[in-house]
Amino acid sequence: MRLVPLPSQQQLYDHSPRWLQRILVNAEAVRREWFRRHGDYRRLVAEHNPAWYFRPRSDQEEWQLHRLNHLLAEVRRRVPFYRDTLPDRPLTSLADLTSLPMLSKEQVRRNPLALVAPDLNRRTLWPRKTSGSTGTPLTFYLDREATRYNQAVADAVLESLDCQFGQPRARFSGAYVTPYTRTQPPFWVWIDLYRQLQCSAYHLAPAYYPHYLQALRDHAVVYGTGYPTSWHLLATYILESGDRPPALRAIITDSEGISLEQQAVVEQAFGCPVVQTYGTGEVGQIAWQCEHHRYHVLSRAAIAEVVDEQGNPVAPGETGQIVVTSFASSGTPFIRYQTGDLATLAADDCPCGRHSPSWLAIEGRIDDRIKTPDGRWIGRLSHVTKPGVGIKESQIAQVAHDRIVIRVVPASDFVPASMEAVIEAARRYLGPTMHIDWELVERLPRTRAGKLRHVVREIEV
């Protein structure tokens, strides 16, 4: 007798009525909250009072050094991976950080559990997978302490903008909301636990813009988060059509960047400030924009260096790689972690009065977007390579109006058959009219700044 395989979670979700989909989404939200907001979460939010960043730089660095030495001692004791590489005595200054080895994505990819303290209960770990801005698949683990800490930092930033968790909000992201084949609204789902309208960023075609805006008004959202490119598409439509935007207090973006010119368009259309943030799934939120459009490092959450290829600090005004040491947890630590992203270090204090280190710009975060034959602009596609096994690097290139090629630099454990799942993931977002192929390459081109662009458009549109 042939056994019929059980449906996957996604298949179950896709074939469920809307009311059951809402239950399933809220059940997942409950699971995530067990990691994110528990224990002394509110105390952590209070500790990240944004007024702290107006304190003198010397006070901030003194606190960081004390916190860093405590972290290093705990990590050296708990995590065998670091036992022979971290010093057995306190550092005397933050400048001594350069004596510690940097942690690469490749090291994490090879053995993510090596970075986990053996004394942790494996059931309390949250396995995460991200391809990151470089398109390199990466699995890592965070314990509850790290997840709670990172969430508290992000929520503290929201509260500083009068946007508290629990108020109705709208989020555009790559979270799976509805199949691509769906051609009629809704392209969103309401998450009761978060009071969040989770919107699909992949159904944003011109014909649907008014429906999205109506959904935002119907749910009375008071602030927005997520992909800035999605908010920019809606903003352009509002200015061109005269459609009425929802009344928002602020839009706080993440996961990708837009230019200051595009940011100004969103602010004009929605009539509220737009704050771009920078962070990674591994270490959480790292920096956020002030009113002068500088990115201020959240120095109470992490130490963020901007370094050259040898790991030494760049001079003010120069561009280098962002390397982060997170204070979140000694159980799943990230010490001098190479994010693969680039920033330009500011040469002077910011006029806003904050004294944490600031960056003039974050380089390499504004990927090209793919334009589908039906007129949708799709960006931030790096996650479609997650199902691939043994992908060292990847790049998605639009080589014709109806064709993309996924270029893959294989690692030693590359499995060609896994690319079928990658193609299927890409097709789910790009649609049946887009031809999708893949090819192996020895290397991928970099920008002048040495950054790999994961999504490139090689045609005129």
Residue reference for tokens 């040898």: 310
* The two three-digit tokens of residue 343, written as one number: 């920033």
Q: What local confidence, expressed as pLDDT, does residue 366 receive?
A: 46
Q: What local confidence, expressed as pLDDT, does residue 180 receive?
A: 73
Q: What local confidence, expressed as pLDDT, does residue 181 receive?
A: 79
Is-contact 141 127, C-beta < 8 A? Answer: yes
**Residue 381 clears pLDDT 80, i.e. is over it:** no
Q: What local confidence, expressed as pLDDT, does residue 370 receive?
A: 87
Predicted confidence band at 379 (pLDDT cuts at 50, 70, 90)? low
Instruction: Tell me the residue ranges of DSSP E strands in 203-347.
Output: 223-226, 250-253, 274-280, 284-289, 295-297, 302-307, 319-326, 337-345
Q: What local confidence, expressed as pLDDT, does residue 367 receive?
A: 54
SS3 201: coil
Q: What is the mean pLDDT of the chain?
A: 90
Q: What local confidence, expressed as pLDDT, does residue 461 receive?
A: 63
- Compute the 3-state secondary structure of the chain and give helix, strand, coil in percent, each to the nearest 5: 35, 25, 40
SS3 412: coil
* The two three-digit tokens of residue 7, written as one number: 């449906």
Q: What is the pLDDT of residues 220-275, one digit of tens each?
A: 999 999 998 899 989 999 999 999 999 999 999 998 888 888 899 999 999 999 99
**Residue 376 clears pLDDT 90, i.e. is over it:** no
Mean pLDDT comparison of 40-44, 129-133, 447-451, highest-scoring range: 40-44
Predicted confidence band at 449 (pLDDT cuts at 50, 70, 90)? very low
Report angle CA 256, 260, 265 to the nearest 5 degrees: 95
Q: What local confidence, expressed as pLDDT, does residue 368 receive?
A: 63
**Residue 182 clears pLDDT 90, i.e. is over it:** no
Q: What is the pLDDT of residues 71-104, one digit of tens each?
A: 999 999 999 999 999 999 999 999 999 999 999 9
- Angle, in degrees to the nearest 10, between helices 228-241 and 260-270: 50
Q: What is the pLDDT of residues 330-374, one digit of tens each?
A: 999 999 999 988 899 998 889 999 999 999 988 755 456 788 998
Buried b (16+ CB within 10 A) or exposed e, 369-378: bbbbeeebbb
* The two three-digit tokens of residue 240, written as one number: 């061109």
**H/E element, 74:** helix 57-78
Percent of the chain with pLDDT over 70: 94
Percent of the chain with pLDDT over 90: 70
Can you spell out the DSSP letters for 142-163?
E-HHHHHHHHHHHHHHHHHTT-
**Range with the lowest mean pLDDT among 262-266, 292-296, 409-413, 451-455?**
451-455
Of residues 331 and 381, the one with the higher pLDDT is: 331
pTM of the model: 0.82
Domains of the chain, with CATH numbers? 370-457 (3.30.300.30)
Q: What is the pLDDT of residues 51-73, one digit of tens each?
A: 999 999 999 999 999 999 999 99
